[in-house]
Chains A and B, each alone.
Chain A
């Protein structure tokens, strides 16, 4: 089991609020690894829409993605690309 972590800055205009939040969660759900994101010391299960929304992460927020599992590397890479795309 590999564990991968990476810090990214959100470039999406609406942050992780509006539709991008749903798309982000749906993307996370494709991976078998467990994935957590942390913003301002608040941690959330990346596969839970209500947890992700509760973070209230806006454009410019620093966000840490941590994944653990067989596809952890891909998961972190794809999710990071998603967040860093405006």
Chain B
């Protein structure tokens, strides 16, 4: 049995499927002239395999996501058929007497350098394509295609050191039962992804990929953060029963779907919204009874590709979400790249402290070209539903004003071009820096609403990297410092007549729910799957009771004592826990 961090609830049984990143080893020794034909044959075979894989990928993506998403693989296929590319690798093998993978590496590197030397975003994108195709060829040459996430066996439980957004984007979601990773925390990408997909996940189990083998039986307990490899029959039986109970609970919560998130005795109504990563997630949001989308992460449009998304492509995605949710609100967060999320094709300089670097609104204000394209698309989508705009990583009033100036400019441009767009969209900001939290009264005058980004607010308040497992204890959502800041933000906003939401992981946390309710939070936005449980808690408390608990919690000296207080409350609320 292995103990890790419970990252996404639920229980899964299945078979181990180990995912390792491909890192081809290039053999640089020389070959004899007689070996040249054999190397050329190896290359031809690798090209043949790569073409089959790419054609499969193209067809699969075209079917699931549409032709424009599949065009990237079309471009890769064109490179493989290029009259210069493969022949040039063969020439290099012959002339320099080196192995196929070494020659491949040299040719790819040469073109990548040529493309990158020309100041042109499009060519930099093609350089990324060439690198990608080079990696695929090298993988096939070395017979180390390895496990991919595109083609999973039935009942796969994925074990990996870590999963990047580009890995999970290609995941075969219908066959994945659970995730287990060596790195990460409750707020790392894997964890958030698992919760939005509603599959169990345990993260932070060092060395697990070395201890398991493909096909091993495995149980993942995402509630307790436990993983069992090749469990004995008794354990398996116990978990089968737990799985059954878990399904029953889900069914019970499902009954709350169409009821409002209102405290008992009708005291106070709050909004429970969903965080989404793609327009398709609206289905799960509505199925769980979401009052809206409190956070539409737009990064999916930018990651796992080689160039920036255009205005039309963005418009399509935003419109799809707005229409799916209408008349419910959809809060679109503008691009939040930086920190752990990078875009290789932007070629931004490496930073010593990316979480303290040029991310979120800071990047967007540095690159108004990128930002304005997005703002135009959001403004245009505004005519299709109830759309709101939200800027991330605000630290200062000047940033709001600069962003709003660009928004006004985008609106003017659209009007000049005769393109219809929303006249007035509500504009809000994320409160995730201590600077923004402390000056909430000043910022409230500039915007229509706040949404507290608790993951980053905790990280920056506690000065603890949320990717560092050794600092897990400091990433504490019930820490008195965190609660006091949240109280301060809510009070400041309410005094200015503005509403406050929260879209971090804390908003979906059961132990925080009574406190947030009692402090006056107006909107809770979370993974869709968490909505029914939070709704149940809110509906079983009275507002006065919640306010008392919050007041009491704010006077306590440490997270432990606050947790003891809220779990006592939750025990009364939830028979499931008793």
Q: Write the residues of chain A forming the contact surface with B, with a CB cutoff of 8 angstroms.
A: 14, 17-18, 22, 45, 47-51, 53-54, 56
Question: Chain B CB within 10 Å — which of A22, A47, A53 has the most?
Answer: A53
B117 nearest CB neighbor, chain A only:
A56
Q: Write the residues of chain B forming the contact surface with A, with a CB cutoff of 8 angstroms.
A: 75, 78-79, 82-85, 111, 114-115, 118, 120, 122-123, 126, 130
The prevalent SS among residues of B at the interface is: helix
Whether B79 contacts A53 by the Cβ 8 Å rule is no
Report the Cα distance A22→B74, complex, angstroms: 11
Whether A48 contacts B84 by the Cβ 8 Å rule is yes
Show 10 residue pairs from A and B whose CB-CB distance is below 8 angstroms, ordered by the A residue. A17-B122, A22-B75, A45-B84, A47-B83, A49-B82, A50-B126, A51-B84, A53-B115, A53-B123, A56-B123
Whether B83 contacts A48 by the Cβ 8 Å rule is yes
Q: Choose among A18, A45, A54, A56 the residue that contacts B111 (Cβ–Cβ < 8 A).
A: A54
| A-B contact sample (8 more), CB < 8 A, given A17-B122, A50-B85, A56-B120 | A14-B122, A17-B120, A45-B83, A48-B85, A49-B79, A50-B84, A51-B82, A56-B118
Report the Cα distance A68→B111, complex, angstroms: 27
Chain B residues near A17 (CB-CB < 8 A): 120, 122-123
Report the Cα distance A22→B125, complex, angstroms: 14
A57 nearest CB neighbor, chain B only:
B118
Report the Cα distance A37→B79, complex, angstroms: 19
Whether A22 contacts B83 by the Cβ 8 Å rule is no
Chain B residues near A50 (CB-CB < 8 A): 79, 82, 84-85, 111, 126, 130
Give the tally of cross-chain contacts (CB within 8 A): 35
B115 nearest CB neighbor, chain A only:
A53
Whether B78 contacts A49 by the Cβ 8 Å rule is yes
Whether B78 contacts A48 by the Cβ 8 Å rule is no
Report the Cα distance A45→B87, complex, angstroms: 13
Report the Cα distance A47→B114, complex, angstroms: 18
How close is A35's CB to chain B, nearest CB, in angstroms? 11
Chain B residues near A22 (CB-CB < 8 A): 75, 78
Chain B residues near A47 (CB-CB < 8 A): 83
Q: Choose among B75, B82, B118 the residue that contacts A48 (Cβ–Cβ < 8 A).
A: B82
How close is B425's CB to chain A, nearest CB, in angstroms? 31
How close is B89's CB to chain A, nearest CB, in angstroms? 12
Report the Cα distance A8→B78, complex, angstroms: 26
Report the Cα distance A45→B85, complex, angstroms: 11
Report the Cα distance A49→B79, complex, angstroms: 7
Report the Cα distance A18→B114, complex, angstroms: 16
A51 nearest CB neighbor, chain B only:
B84
How close is A15's CB to chain B, nearest CB, in angstroms? 9
Report the Cα distance A41→B78, complex, angstroms: 26
Whether A54 contacts B114 by the Cβ 8 Å rule is yes
Chain B residues near A51 (CB-CB < 8 A): 82, 84
Report the Cα distance A45→B130, complex, angstroms: 18
Report the Cα distance A51→B75, complex, angstroms: 15
Report the Cα distance A31→B114, complex, angstroms: 27
Chain A residues near B126 (CB-CB < 8 A): 50, 53
Chain A residues near B75 (CB-CB < 8 A): 22
B84 nearest CB neighbor, chain A only:
A48
Report the Cα distance A53→B126, complex, angstroms: 9
Report the Cα distance A48→B118, complex, angstroms: 18
B88 nearest CB neighbor, chain A only:
A50
B118 nearest CB neighbor, chain A only:
A56
Report the Cα distance A77→B111, complex, angstroms: 30
Report the Cα distance A10→B83, complex, angstroms: 24
Chain A residues near B82 (CB-CB < 8 A): 48-51
How close is A39's CB to chain B, nearest CB, in angstroms? 12
Report the Cα distance A51→B85, complex, angstroms: 9
Report the Cα distance A1→B122, complex, angstroms: 37
Chain A residues near B111 (CB-CB < 8 A): 50, 54
Question: Chain A CB within 10 Å — which of B75, B126, B130 has the most?
Answer: B126
Chain A residues near B114 (CB-CB < 8 A): 54
User: Closest 7 interchain pairs by CB?
Assistant: A48-B84, A56-B118, A18-B122, A54-B114, A17-B122, A51-B84, A48-B83
